[in-house]
């Protein structure tokens, strides 16, 4: 029962956040040995739209991008977030709720497989459970 509530929660977050106001994404570009974060209007991961096509339309060169960063209502990854990793990028997910900022990185390692690392803030028990459930579905 608990797992089903978490799945419903994740789907609700995904549907609620799939509009432009629910997710703001940027890319980290590496040009001339300098990292620069560039906001890309309309870039979305949570919607499930083909990320590679979106990046091509925005004129982004794949080998100049070192990461993708999105800010959302929640740092809990969604099923669609896996596409970022499949393209070879680490994925930073940030949120700010009631003044508390959180940031996780979603990544794939040979040793651990899919995982998240908390970079700032603190995760609630419900967020930890939801993250574990999403990662187990990848």
How many domains would you assign to the chain?
1
**Domain ranges, residue 126:** 2-137
Which pair of structure tokens corresponds to residue 125?
A: 């028990």
Q: Map tokens 């060169």 to a residue.
A: 61
The fraction of the chain above a pLDDT of 70, given in percent, is 85
Which pair of structure tokens corresponds to residue 126?
A: 């419900």
- Given this model, what pLDDT does residue 46 score? 81
pTM for the model stands at 0.77
Residue 135 DSSP label = H
Measured distance CA(46)–CA(18) in Å, rounded: 6
Q: Using one digit for the tens of pLDDT, what is the confidence trace for 54-90?
A: 888 888 777 778 889 999 889 999 888 998 998 888 9
Q: What is the mean pLDDT of residues 117-128?
A: 92
Q: Is residue 42 very low, low, confident or very high in pLDDT (cuts 50, 70, 90)? A: confident
């Amino acid at each position: 029962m608990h797992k089903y509530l978490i799945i419903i929660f994740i789907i609700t977050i995904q549907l609620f956040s799939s509009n432009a106001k629910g997710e703001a994404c940027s890319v980290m570009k590496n040009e001339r040995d300098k990292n620069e974060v560039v906001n890309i209007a309309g870039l979305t991961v949570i919607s499930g739209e083909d990320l590679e096509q979106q990046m091509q339309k925005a004129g982004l060169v794949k080998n100049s991008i070192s990461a993708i960063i999105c800010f959302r209502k929640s740092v809990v990854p969604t099923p669609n977030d896996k596409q970022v990793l499949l393209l070879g990028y680490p994925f930073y997910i940030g949120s700010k709720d009631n003044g508390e900022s959180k940031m996780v990185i979603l990544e794939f390692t040979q040793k651990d497989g899919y995982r998240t690392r908390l970079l700032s803030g603190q995760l609630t028990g419900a967020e930890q459970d939801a993250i574990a459930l999403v990662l187990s579905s990848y």
